[in-house]
């Protein structure tokens, strides 16, 4: 009985995320990627503390995928200049730290990535497409 309820809740959450993605502008999509990576790292933290190795690996893999195939791929290295190049290098570093966190069960590496992601995420939250358009005008 509860298994079906959990499946329904999971399906509802997936539909909610899918709907948010469909209507999101590029800025909002980046914010969603950051939120997803941070949620995955939070799940990895809990799994690490509970010594659930498989769950830890799955959560860290998800965070790596979001950073490497979402955030990093979204960079425009030609038009983004030095900022894009530095973010590219930082995303590579975050992926390496997550790999180390998973291999060694290193909670400090996981926390380091969470802190750095939150700093970048915070900067993205401060940048609104409307503010950028007003600054250009």
Residue 29 host element (H or E): helix 26-49
| CA nearest neighbour of 29 among 1, 67, 71, 86 | 71
Distance (Å, whole) CA 41 – CA 43: 5
pLDDT of amino acid 96:
97
Q: Is it the case that residue 22 has pLDDT exceeding 60?
A: no
CATH architecture of 34-126: Up-down Bundle (1.20)
pLDDT of amino acid 4:
40
String of b and e for 41-74 (b: at least 16 CB within 10 Å)?
bebbbebbeeeeeeebeebbebbbebbeebbbee
Mean pLDDT of 32-60: 95
Distance (Å, whole) CA 15 – CA 126: 27
């Amino acid at each position: 009985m509860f298994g079906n309820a959990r499946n329904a809740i999971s399906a509802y959450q997936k539909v909610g995320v899918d709907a948010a993605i469909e209507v999101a502008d590029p800025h909002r999509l980046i914010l969603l990627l950051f939120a997803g990576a941070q949620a995955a790292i939070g799940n990895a933290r809990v799994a690490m503390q509970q010594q659930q190795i498989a769950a830890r690996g799955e959560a860290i893999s998800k965070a790596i995928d979001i950073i490497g195939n979402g955030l990093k791929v979204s960079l425009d290295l030609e038009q983004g200049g030095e900022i894009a190049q530095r973010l590219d290098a930082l995303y590579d570093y975050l992926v390496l730290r997550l790999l180390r966190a998973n291999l060694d069960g290193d909670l400090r590496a996981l926390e380091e990535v969470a802190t750095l992601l939150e700093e970048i995420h915070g900067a993205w939250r401060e940048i609104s497409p409307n503010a950028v358009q007003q600054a250009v005008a």
